Structure 1
Amino acid sequence: MKTRAYLAVLAASCFSVFPAAAQQQVTGTPGAPSATTTIDGQSLPAAPPPFGGVINLDAQHSTPWWPPTVVPPKGAPNVLLIITDDAGYGVSGTFGGLIPTPTLDQIAANGLRYTQFHSTALCSPTRAALITGRNHHSSGFGVIAEQATGFPGYDSIIGPDNATIGNILKDHGYATSWFGKNHNTPTYAYSTSGPFDQWPSGMGFDYFYGFMGGETNQWTPWLFRDHTQIFPWRDQPGYNLVTGMADDAITYLRQIDAVTPEKPFLLYYAPGATHAPHHPTQEWIDKFKGKFDMGWNAMRDEIFANQKRLGVIPEKAQLTPWPDDLPKWDTLDADSKKMFARQAEVFAAYVAYADHEIGRVVDEVRRQGKLDNTLIIYIEGDNGTSAEGSTIGTAFDLAAIQGINMPVADQLKYYDAWGSDVTTPHMSVAWSWAFDTPFKWTKQIASHFGGTRQGMAMSWPGHITDKGGIRSQFHHVIDIVPTILEAAGIEAPQTVNGIPQKPIEGTSMAYTWAKGSANVPSTRTTQYFEMFGDRAIYHDGWIASTTPPAGPWLLGLGKLPDVLDGYNWELYDLTKDFTQFDDLAAKEPAKLKELQDLFLVEAAKYHVFPLDNRVATRFGQQPSATAGRDTFTYTGQLSGLPPSAAPSPLNRSYTITADIEVPEGGGEGVINTLGGRFGGYGLYLLKGKPVFTYNLLGLERFRWEGTDGLTPGKHSIVFDFAYDGPGFGKGGTGVLSVDGTEAAKQTIPHTIPFVATIDESFDVGIDTRSPVDDNDYQVPFRFTGTLDKLTVKVGPPQI
């Protein structure tokens, strides 16, 4: 009896919920100084129930209790939030472009088209603003993650006081998921060792299927499911991420519907299209054969006419002039016209292909009978069309963004393969400018609408009642979060996980949904813009804009003006001048001064300072997982290490030493790679011979090869590279040796200046995505011997 009594007292001390209606069998005075409890007439040392209630030792006379489940407000909609990549206002057919976008058409027909909706002019910043409802500098993303500088507005960290729409809706009972592009995680946190607070899972998204960086090869993407790398193309011939993510999103929606059909979802859908590399399938490329033979100037005129016909620009809008430093189509030779038309065909195919796959996801929502209560927001592009393909385009986009041009004659060698898995193509700047019709400029330019105006459509049947309507109120990507929250009946939280939150800086667009609201004044009266020192300020129908000192295709490598005082300013009255055509700065100096002063106020408020107009030289300033290390040692097989966590061979001398054992019959396979088909290096045995290949961004390969196959047993292979710095992308001399004897020596004229790879990894004993030279091997090309130790020693940067 005493043992049973002590067990009862122990239970009383451990469990805290006891219904008051239960029959008393254990008595005591909770909180009293008495140290005894009476059970069945016996006095025992007390451990009173925490609530001072009654303990029932018999489950048949107890009432169970469960913590309540958090559920959203009644009627809260599903949310399908879609944003594509690098597509300006004149791209989609929905906004007058020549590329059919029937899914975007469908959303617009069932809801509204917005003609003055804006981004930040660049990828990461727009996406940070989109999911937080705060300006990009307020969210730490004044620039892309790869160019973060550590100042409060530029550290590439979405802090815990910037809870995302994922955090908020998850806390209110939503199923939250993210598909496609991330680009909102600091580069030094890409490693699968974490920390994961800056991954989608740490930003409130329970499920992630996508890629972490700014771009990825769509045929062999660097792909994650949650925190784990996956390789679906290995088992799915012809796999393409554009279809693969739609397939996965549909599977996810079916699983949610099967288990909790009443639970609303937030599905954030962000395909890599149409950021380079342009990778549609051949089926879609074939649909656009010959569609752009008219050239970029005639296409621009056609888009402009379509936009007026559709009413997505005012009838009195003027087409901005063609820039003097871009060639007119009629001045080109036949080869250039042929190649440039091909570039546009593949880009258009990529746009249409992505829209089609988005349509499959929308169709699944419809199939489940949930379309009527799903708020769909479809933003075509996170900035203007990209001008990062150089003035002539390229078959290899990493070369172009590092200032290495590929002549048209060399591009023509890839004409039939353009868009396939042996290219990573981008198009000429002239196409990019034309696809931003009717505006001036392109992606990266925050001062002009060619960089920031996006076509956007929104539908929610039964709530957005003016089907097919057009709305011209001035809005910004930060306005999406408050719009979703108003639709869901959820207030922006004051705290999340106990952490006080920054105020939401956007304003809801729900006031535009009703019939008759087309002419209601915009609730957004002021909005600043800034990117790389280029800036603008909108206020009450006016915008003051700096004149970009150079085209973004020049990569900011020339002499730049003083970032504070060296910029010219323009002034536009948007109530009369939709396209920023008529500069009124000279006529309205007082208005210009008023807006310039307002920019200073807004910039100070939202952490825009210090201004910085550097572009290329911002790379490499971020914290690094390799900081302070010059020697790296690995054993056995390793794959998937991100470049940010691996030893860098760029602009420095380095030595790679591999201690291996070759099996009987000879050895073969990869010892170490960084990158692959489109840039990087590889050290491997090929038919027993040691080989080191340096791949200069797909444009050129330099090869060191031993003359003899290695005998069975232990060997030491060394590749030593002496860099001819200082400076970016200089050449150097490499020596390949085996067991202390030189096997090959070669001096090369240049190396990769800034970025060896974006979407491939550092691998040891295996190659996971693409070979450094297709003529030598195909992945995974595992090393057949034993890798006792790999040591990489790097010298200091010579820049």
Structure 2
Amino acid sequence: MIGPVWTTLCAFAMTALTALPAQAQQERPNILLVVLDDAGFMDFGAYGSDTQTPNIDQLSSDGAMFTRFYATPQCGPSRAMLLTGQDNHSIGMGSIAEVMNDEMRALPAYSLKWADSQHTIASLLQEGGYQTFASGKWGIGHIGENLPNRFGFDRSWVLDSTGSSNFNTKSYLPIYKEMKWFEDGARVSLPEDFYSSRNIVDKMIEYVDERDPDRPFFGYLSFQAIHIPLQVSTEYIDKYNGVFDRGWDVMREERLQRAIEMNLVPETTKLAEWAYNARDWDALSEDEKAYWARVMQVNAGMMENADHHLGRLLNHLDAEGALDNTIVVVLSDNGPESATLGETSELPTLLIEKAFMLLEGWNTDYNNLGQRGSIAAIGSEWASVSAAPLHLFKFSAGEGGMRVPFVIAGPGISPLGIANARAQIADIAPTLLDAARVDYADDIFHGRSLMPILSGTTDAVYGDDDSMPFEVSGTAALYRGNWKITKTPTPFGDGKWNLYDLSVDPGETNNVGADHPDLFEDMLAEYAQYAEQAGVYEFGPGESARQQLIENSVKKIFSNYAYLVIGFLIAALAVLYVFFRWVRAMVRRARA
């Protein structure tokens, strides 16, 4: 009798022991990391936008919304830092491929390729027992080189580029003929009725539904909204009829006052001068005002639509009882896009853009704004409104290019409301690993865990003497406490280093370098040390990421459309030959 009883007890004990890890896993929080593309500091409703984002706003109300959260000025480097917790140069992501020259490509900091051993938040969570899913834009490094299935994601369905049409795989840049989507590392086609925000969420819901419910999951949900081209159904566009008719001059001032009233910035904040190419709203014709107001309606509608589809996912998790145990993070990868295609560029660039649009069937027609074939973009003036009251926008090291919205809520996150602590995009990985109770070595991260702030234990994890350096394609900044040195190439910056006191001047209107020479020189020396250690490529005078993008685009146009260029040259030579023969015949007749 002892034998069978002992066997039964042993079996019961083993069952209990094997059940414990599953129970422990289930109690650990699910994590949903949501990235909006090119959303400015005031682009969420919770931050004072005119755009309706009720789901994001609810998260900000339930948890925390940061006012001093920093990304890099470009998408790829920001996403690399987000997913690894490391400095972008240390993992070969010093820039996006589209704006690099040959010298940069030869440097380790710009390899755009990860080693197989590269850790990510997904691989570390996976080792800790999490199921890991990715859906949406990836865009880290060379296309197809660093796909998520290689770096810790169990399932993934991603666009591996900087952006694309929201209805198909059409490229918005002359550099590419087509944009590529991959599922679990294999190239895939898109459904006929594809729309980015809807299908990206649909795929995440599919992965979540297929998961093991006894284990927690990590979902990386990355929207194309609101990256160029701005596209969304007219239902969402028309909701904003009249909202932006006041124009960018008035609305930028309104957002400054709103940001002060909401305590997003100090009351001493002032607006910097407009960017060099900004237009006076009152100087526009009535047709031009109608056009640019409509463009901003598309921008707002696309953002609201993304929030709607995010809400579908949150409601789906809630319906199955998983939302209460899910940490949700929402942030932007950089500031708002200021460029347009076929509209506001200087003449030589405009001609290139027009030629590309003609070849690929893109247009900026008013009646088609936001629809298939439309390549709408808000331009520098509305970008300055989206980033208000901060200075400049994407591709710059101004606060408007780097300070972005960041919202987090869920189990273990105190309802802090507005959080004024300094934080950066490399902090997300260690923060979420802490929340998931996954052990890691502190020295593998460039960032720090924000959990002491989010749990209400402390007000800050960076002290007044702690620095944050950033550099991407010639734009650079170093933060130390409330001080910031920064450099943005021409034409949007002066290409020189400036010092600002962000405690009173987040609009970066007053360069105080001459007033604090010792501090200025000390911070410059610290940045120089960082740049040397990181292997930063220094752009020369007059060089910039935007200029390099134009040069690379011109080269690619001649490469991608060589047959058309050759055909045009042959046709032109034929016309010249016929004209020459005709002139010679006329001359002969005259002599006769």
TM range (shorter): 0.7 to 0.9
Structure 1, gaps ≥5 residues long: 1-20, 22-63, 191-195, 495-501, 553-560, 562-566, 623-642, 653-673, 675-679, 682-691, 695-720, 724-730, 736-743, 748-799
Q: Which residue of 1 aligns with 2:570?
A: 733
Match for 2:153: what amino acid?
F
Tell me, yes or no, if the aligned pair for 1:388 and 1:401 is still in contact at 8 Å: no
- When residues 312 and 650 of structure 1 are mapped into structure 2, their CA distance, relative to the original with a 3 A threshold, is closer
Do residues 368 (structure 1) and 332 (structure 2) align?
no
Aligned to 2:566: 722
Instruction: Report 1:756-775 matches (<5 A).
Output: none
Question: Given that residues 275 and 380 in structure 2 are in contact (C-alpha distance below 8 angstroms), is that contact kept between their aligned partners in structure 1?
Answer: no
| Displacement after TM superposition at 1:538 (Å) | 0.9
Which one has a bigger Cα radius of gyration?
Answer: 1
Matching of residue 452 in structure 1 with residue 296 in structure 2:
no
Name the residue aligned to 1:244: 199
1:216 paired to 2:216: no
| 1:535 alignment partner, one of 473, 476, 484 | 476
| Structure 2 gap segments, 5+ residues each | 4-13, 170-179, 577-592
Cα distance in structure 2, aligned partners of 1:615 and 1:520 = 33
CA spacing shift, 1:540–1:422, aligned 2, 3 Å: closer
Superposed counterparts of 1:154-193, under 5 Å: 154-187=110-143, 190=144
In structure 2, distance between residues paired with 1:578 and 1:621: 33
Q: Distance in 1 between matches of 2:571 and 2:371?
A: 32
Once the two structures are superposed, residues 44-103 of structure 1 have per-residue CA deviations (whole angstroms, 9 ceiling, x without a partner) of: xxxxxxxxxxxxxxxxxxxx99xx999776742111001110111022221112111111
User: What secondary structure, in the 3-state scheme, does the structure 1 residue paired with 2:80 have?
Assistant: helix
- Contact 1:242–1:272 (CA under 8 A) maintained in structure 2: yes
User: Superposition pairs for residues 258-297 of structure 1, below 5 Å?
Assistant: 260-297=212-249
**Hey, what's the Cα distance between the residues in 1 that align with 2:157 and 2:461?**
40
| Alignment partner of 1:321 out of 273, 288, 291 | 273
Map of 2:369 onto structure 1: 418
Q: Secondary structure at the match of 1:600?
A: helix
Instruction: Report if the CA contact (8 A) 2:337-2:380 is conserved.
Output: yes
| Structure 1 segment 596-607 matched on structure 2, within 5 A | 596-607=524-535
- Is 2:540 the counterpart of 1:651? no
Tell me how far apart the structure 2 counterparts of residues 333 and 618 of structure 1 sit (CA, whole Å).
33
Aligned to 2:295: 343
Q: What residue identity is the alignment partner of 2:114?
A: I
Partner of 2:428: 480
The amino acid across from 2:425 in the alignment is V
Shift of 1:317: 2.4
Q: Which residue of 1 aligns with 2:255?
A: 303
C-alpha distance in 2, partners of 1:308/1:616?
32
| Residues 523, 160 of structure 1: alpha-carbon distance in 2 compared, 3 angstrom cutoff | farther
CA distance in 2, matches of 1:127, 1:484: 15
- Mean CA deviation greater in 602-611 or 296-305: 602-611
CA deviation profile, 1:482-510 (whole Å, cap 9, x unmatched) = 1011111112259xxxxxxx721110111
Determine if the alignment matches structure 1 residue 206 to structure 2 residue 113. no
Identity among equivalent pairs (%): 26
User: 1:352: how far off?
Assistant: 1.0
Letter in 2 for 1:169: L
1:532-575 CA-partner distances (Å, limit 9, x unpaired): 222221112211112532139xxxxxxxx9xxxxx422111223
CA deviations over 1:344-393 (Å, ceiling 9, x no partner): 111111111111111111222222212222111100x2111011216945
- Would you say the 8 A contact 2:34–2:220 is kept in 1? yes
Tell me how far 1:418 sits from its aligned partner. Answer: 0.8
Q: Say if 1:619 and 1:549 are closer, same or farther in 2 by CA, change over 3 A.
A: closer
**Higher share in strand:** 1
For residues 470 and 413 of structure 1, do their structure 2 counterparts lie closer, same or farther at Cα, with a shift above 3 Å needed? Answer: closer
Q: Does 1:546 find its partner at 2:505?
A: no
> Which is helix-richer, 1 or 2?
2
Distance 1:249 1:588 in 2: 51
Q: Residues of 1 paired with 2:155 and 2:337: CA distance?
A: 29
Report the CA distance between 1:621 and its aligned residue. Answer: 11
Distance 2:41 2:167 in 1: 27
Deviation at 1:523, TM superposition (A): 8.8
1:606, distance to aligned residue in structure 2 (A): 2.6
Instruction: Tell me the SS of whatever aligns to 1:244.
Output: helix
Letter in 2 for 1:255: E
Confirm or deny: 8 A CA contact 2:63 2:408 kept in the other structure: yes
1:557-611 alpha-carbon deviations (Å, 9 max, x no partner): xxxx9xxxxx422111223333323221121121111110010112223332455
The Cα of 1:413 is off from its aligned counterpart by 7.4
Instruction: For 1:617-632, list aligned pairs within 5 A.
Output: none
Q: Which residue of 2 aligns with 1:464?
A: 413
Q: Counterpart of 1:537 in 2: which secondary structure?
A: strand
Give the conservation status (yes or no) of the 8 Å contact 2:201–2:313. yes
Q: Deviation of residue 300 (structure 1)?
A: 0.9
Deviations 1:415-456 (A, max 9, x none): 11111112222222211122110111110012x111101011
Give secondary structure in 2 for the equivalent of 1:153.
helix
Contact 1:389/1:400 (8 A) holds in 2: no
Q: Which of 209, 213, 218 is 1:254 aligned to?
A: 209
**Amino acid in structure 1 at the alignment position of 2:42:** G
Between the two proteins, the alignment pairs up a number of residues equal to 538
Amino acid at match of 2:413: I
Aligned pair 1:440/2:374, yes or no?
no
Paired residues of 2:25 and 2:215 also in contact (CA < 8 A): no
Distance 1:157 1:493, change over 3 A: farther
Q: CA deviation at 1:326?
A: 1.2
What secondary structure does 1:383 align onto? coil
Equivalence for 1:43: none
